[in-house]
Amino acid sequence: MGRYKCAYECESSDDADEKYFKFPLCNERRLKKWLANMKWKDWTPSRFSVLCSKHFEEQHLDRTGKCVQLREDAVPTIFLPQDEASKTKTDSTPRGRRKKQVSTVASQTSLAAPSATVIADEEELAHADAEVELEDKVLRWRIVMDQSLVKITSLPHFFHGDYCAQQDVQWAPDTDVMTSAEEIHGLDPEKVIEVTAAWQWLGLDVRGPLPPTHNGHKYVVTLSDYYSKWVEAAAVPSYLPMHVAKHIGDAVCHFGLPLRILSRLPRDAVVQINQELARQLTTDVSLVVQHPHTGAVDLNTQHMIDRMVSDLVDEHAADWDVFLPAKVFALCFQEHSHTKERPFALLCCQDSELVHSPLRLHYTDTQIQESAFLVQYGASTITQI
């Protein structure tokens, strides 16, 4: 692993025989602990950032296999004092700070709700991406979402002193996510929506920008079924409404119409996606509803998708879109950690008829946005927000 260099720039950075470990970017809580222990201000790890094994206590290292690995609960604890570490970072990475400033501009431009149309946003995003690529070829992808849905700006519980959440890392809103069935059952029943069957409620996300492929694709559109954990994914050149709506339409043709689709995309984008879907499906029902906890309904599946996208880019940077269908196929045909079932079995092996006409619900979009979701499997609860 000589191509890696310790992100902390310790004495072992240039040691080709040293063991290096990537940051847990798909595990928000664990990542916060790593960064809190590093005690660095204004720095965010990319998917290429690593720490060497000298920062981990021996109890956190697993040496039983052919290569040294980290244990699941491993957290780095061996670092320089805060003032000395800050001096090291400041003196050694001026270029990194310039990249951070450009990345912040790109993030703020792309996450802000569009002032005119989503097309204008795409042009601004492309311009920001070009600036970042001139400074550094590596830009960590993100989940496209509405800036108004990002409620947490600092994390005093995980960060020491005045350490704040970085602009290009989207932390899970811990205080807003329900963590147990008891919490949800304690809410007003009218504020709880139960998911009791496959393909009722779906989550829509867009991830990118990724390295452009030979086919010009830069984003991944995903639909995930909260009940069965089935995932649909498609590579698209941009996250314009027409591209997202086409992917939704293709999924509807295969599995029928869901009750509704939750999304954290900017509000104007959601409106235009619904308009495009209405034209394709000849309906006046708005299928996509903006919801702040779109990803939190099923965190496990979201982490699996994040890991899949990161692996795709690492292994097939120039043609990740060609290998995307095989990766999604593997997700849907392996046992899910929560349901202990294959998503294929829960979605495709059940006796159910395709829904061809949109169902009108007894609650409004506003009521959906203010509700918590509870996934029920018979008499047992599997996951919820």
Strands 69-70 and 61-62: antiparallel
In terms of Cβ atoms closer than 10 Å to its own Cβ (0-12, 13-18, 19+), residue 11 is exposed
pLDDT tens digits, one per residue of 206-226: 999 999 999 999 999 999 999
Signed CA dihedral, 28, 29, 31, 35: sign only: positive
Residue 298 has pLDDT above 70, yes or no: yes
DSSP E strands in 85-230: the ranges are: 142-143, 192-195, 201-208, 219-225
Domain layout of the chain by residue ranges = 20-92, 94-172, 177-384
DSSP class of residue 60?
G
Q: Measure the CA–CA gap between 320 and 70, rounded to whole angstroms.
A: 28
Token duo for residue 184: 């949800």
Residue count of the chain: 385
**Which residues pair with residue 194 across a beta bridge?**
374
Token duo for residue 120: 């204008």
DSSP class of residue 13?
T
For 177-384, which CATH class? Answer: alpha beta
pLDDT tens digits, one per residue of 232-266: 999 999 989 999 999 999 999 889 999 999 999 99
Which helix or strand (DSSP H or E) is residue 99 part of? Answer: helix 94-111
What's residue 13's pLDDT?
54
Residues with Cβ < 8 Å from 238, sequence gap 6 or more? 122, 218, 219
Which of 230, 237, 382 lies closest to 301 in space, CA to CA? Answer: 230
3 state SS of 326? helix
Angle at 261 between CA 251 and CA 280, to 5 degrees: 50
User: pTM value?
Assistant: 0.59
Q: What is the mean pLDDT of the segment spanning 28-57?
A: 83
Token duo for residue 380: 């047992």
